[in-house]
Amino acid sequence: MRLIISEKANTAKKIAQFLSEGTVREGKHRSVPHHTFTWKGEETVSVGLKGHVLNPEYPEEYSNWQKVEPRELIDAEILKSVSEKGVAQAVTSLSKKADRVVIATDFDREGELIGVEALSLVFEANPKLMDHVERARFSALTPGEVGRAFDELMEVSNDLADAGEARQDIDLIWGATLTRWVSRATKRYGSAFLSVGRVQSPTLVLIADRERERRAFLPEPYWELEVDLRNGEPFTVRHQTDRFKEEARARNAYENVADTATVVDVQQKSATRKPPAPFNTTAFLTAAANIGISPSRAARIAEDLYTDGYISYPRTDNTVYPRSLDLREVLGYLGGVEGVGQHAERLLSQDNLSPTRGKKETTDHPPIYPTGYASKESMRDDRWKIYQLVVRRFLATLSGPAKTLRTTLRFDSGGEPLVTGGTVLTEEGWLGVYPYSRRADEEIPNLSEGDVVEVIGKEILSKETQPPGRYGAGRLINVMEDLGLGTKATRPNIIQNLYDRGYVHDDPLVPTEKGMAVAQALTDFASEIASHEMTAELERSMDEISEGRISKASVVDSSRDVLRRVYDHLQDSETEFADIVWEGIRTDETIGKCPESSHDLIIRRNRKSRKRFVGCTGYPDCHVTYPLPQRGEIIPLGTQCDACGSPEIKVLGGKRPWVTCINMDCPKKQEQREAAEKAKEGGEGSSTRSAQELQKSTT
């Protein structure tokens, strides 16, 4: 009997369906399904894991955070414990009956490691299988791709698995050691612990450094001159001097503008916008973030779409379609997809298909492309958005360029040069199917040189230069890739961890004061983990492991040496480190000023119930308190309610963040409650709308 082991249950089922030469018999080992069928005349069983079946962990004697010296974790033995006992038992039981095994997990470092972990269980149950192992590598769960992979079986790559295990072990050693040290130094345990990570921490420092730039930024004033003209319809132009650094010069230009303006020059310039390159993981996650789906969410959805057979493997660096990919076959099943079918059919009718090529070409996986037909009715909204994004990107890469026309009009009014311009799309090309990159047409009047138009208004706008923008999640993914922070598979989770630990909120990412303080303390006293250089060097070392040029043990041991130096630096500065972090924590917990005593209002917890509330630091002389929501991260906004003057907070949690003042007796809240009661009692539609409007005004 041949045993096929894949990464997930639905993958195992699809493989059985694709390879079977007859009926697939469904079975279970306890609660774990498996599928029996005939392939190439041999009985075959396909079973799926639930990701990693083994997890790295420290022995039990290291489990007490407060009693165990964190430094001991650097050289402590790392054990592998079974994480999914039911799955492990199913693999063990089936292995005893097998005479050969095929690993069909995802083809990347983590997938190879998952497969090798499963083999350790297989060999323990049936040592004879050690010489009868093969590997199936595929990039899409389609009959053709899976069939090809099983016709071209190869060997398992222990080097690739070692690279995945090296990252796993190093992340455990660094994360556990430094997280425990920081939590112990700041006395933050349980759910309040402060996490530190080899990739997480330099990413947090990037965000905090940008925030410091913003806070240190000194705005400079400048002035703009806008003039309203009329040629039938009114339109606005600006002074050719985009920014006046001196208000007097702007005022002088304002006074000079006459009652009419004469067109002195008309310029038109056509441009071509080339279609985008095929999606690799980074480009896909960036595009998903631009349509409002976070990297971590987009990665999970893409993984589900892959295992359901709708898109190809979503973790890839490749931006060049391989010659083996049948582009016409893909277009064939996209012809019925809602919203893009006509575009697919039009491409299919062309004699030649010439896809775009990106700068990165690899041989492990193709770029992300659609592998199956789906309808909008068959999917949740967010899954449909991601499927459509992948489909439209694929079609865009096969489409022609878009063409635009830029028209610039220059005027003279009282000796002052005025200018306006607009760009319109003259040929849709790829933008006809990929609207995410489309810009609205900028229409301007059809004027010729020498035409005179009326000046109907003018205005000086006083403005200031703006600080550098914060990182959006999509932009941060790109920066992390450029700096070698994390991998295409881990970056979304790293960003999500920063949210989960309360280090950042919103998108673009805004660091909390706790996040700022942890970043500052690490920069001051553990510069190796605060900098991207060390992490990027380790990533390069793991690449060398996967290529068989260096051993896993040597890389892990080298990382331990670096960690010892980091730990020694931290030990010498424990008090200073804790002081910096606690200053940030206290700032986050300060909601505002007490209206009665002018002391700080801070977040407190009831000693018995552990429920949180806002209390005055002037207690026991001042007894002012306010209730708080018991779930979600609380972010002080430093603003006051316009209805009652109480401090406002943002609550992170649930489907979306919401903003409220802490005063339950606020007139705005009272109106909201009354409107809600009327709506509940069956009032007219206007009452419901009123309640909804009041809700919006307080969120």
Same domain, 389 and 420: no
Work out the average pLDDT over 215-222: 97
Tokens of 527: 């510069």
Per-residue confidence band for 699, with pLDDT thresholds at 50, 70 and 90? very low
Same domain, 608 and 693: yes
Q: Say what the pLDDT of residue 688 is.
A: 40
**Is residue 514 in a domain?**
yes
pLDDT at residue 553 above 90? yes
Torsion of CA 224, 229, 233, 236, to 10 degrees: -10
- Quick one: DSSP state of residue 244? B
Q: Which of 581, 601, 625 is the last residue of a domain?
A: 581
Residues 6+ apart with CB under 8 A from 535: 198, 199, 202, 484, 485, 486, 529
- Quick one: DSSP state of residue 681? T
Same domain, 447 and 337: no
Q: Say what the pLDDT of residue 694 is.
A: 34
Average predicted confidence (pLDDT) for the chain:
93
**Is residue 636 in a domain?**
yes
pLDDT at residue 696 above 70? no
Same domain, 294 and 370: yes
Question: How does pLDDT run across 85-118, given as a tens digit for each residue?
Answer: 999 999 999 999 999 999 999 999 999 999 999 9
Work out the average pLDDT over 225-232: 95
DSSP calls for 545-560: HHTTSS-HHHHHHHHH
Residues 6+ apart with CB under 8 A from 594: 600, 601, 616, 617, 618, 622, 624
Residue 313 is a catalytic residue: yes
d(C-alpha 151, C-alpha 146), whole Å: 9
pLDDT at residue 395 above 80? yes
Per-residue confidence band for 275, with pLDDT thresholds at 50, 70 and 90? very high
**Is residue 59 in a domain?**
no
**Is residue 70 in a domain?**
no
Element (H, E) at 460: strand 452-464
Same domain, 633 and 685: yes
Same domain, 266 and 315: no
**Residue 506: φ, ψ to 5°:** 65, 175
d(C-alpha 20, C-alpha 226), whole Å: 72
Work out the average pLDDT over 134-142: 95
Q: Which domain holds residue 357?
A: 282-397
**Is residue 503 in a domain?**
yes
Same domain, 151 and 171: no
* Active-site annotation holder among 313, 369, 503, 567: 313
> Among residues 77, 76, 22, 11, which one has the least CA distance to residue 50?
11
d(C-alpha 479, C-alpha 495), whole Å: 12
In this structure, which amino acid lies at residue 494?
Answer: I
Same domain, 406 and 387: no
d(C-alpha 110, C-alpha 303), whole Å: 14
d(C-alpha 643, C-alpha 663), whole Å: 10
Tokens of 52: 């990693």
Same domain, 7 and 145: yes
Q: Say what the pLDDT of residue 410 is.
A: 98
Q: Say what the pLDDT of residue 693 is.
A: 41
Q: Which of 364, 397, 430 is the last residue of a domain?
A: 397
**Is residue 254 in a domain?**
yes
> Among residues 216, 382, 206, 235, which one has the least CA distance to residue 301?
382
Residues 6+ apart with CB under 8 A from 422: 406, 407, 441, 442, 443, 444
Same domain, 236 and 203: no
Domains in the chain: how many in total? Answer: 5
Q: What is the pTM of this model?
A: 0.89
> Among residues 89, 106, 95, 96, which one has the least CA distance to residue 149?
106
Question: How does pLDDT run across 569-624, given as a tens digit for each residue?
Answer: 999 999 999 999 999 999 999 999 999 999 999 999 888 888 999 999 999 999 99
Tokens of 477: 């993914």
Same domain, 208 and 98: no
**Is residue 161 in a domain?**
no
Per-residue confidence band for 631, with pLDDT thresholds at 50, 70 and 90? confident
Helices (H), 501-549: 513-525, 527-530, 532-546
CATH of the domain at 271: 2.70.20.10
Same domain, 433 and 446: yes
Q: Higher-confidence residue: 16 or 538?
A: 16
Q: Say what the pLDDT of residue 600 is.
A: 94
pLDDT at residue 411 above 60? yes
Per-residue confidence band for 682, with pLDDT thresholds at 50, 70 and 90? low
**Is residue 501 in a domain?**
yes
d(C-alpha 235, C-alpha 233), whole Å: 7
Percentage of the chain modeled with pLDDT above 70: 97
CATH of the domain at 31: 3.40.50.140
Q: Which of 581, 598, 620 is the last residue of a domain?
A: 581
Element (H, E) at 240: none
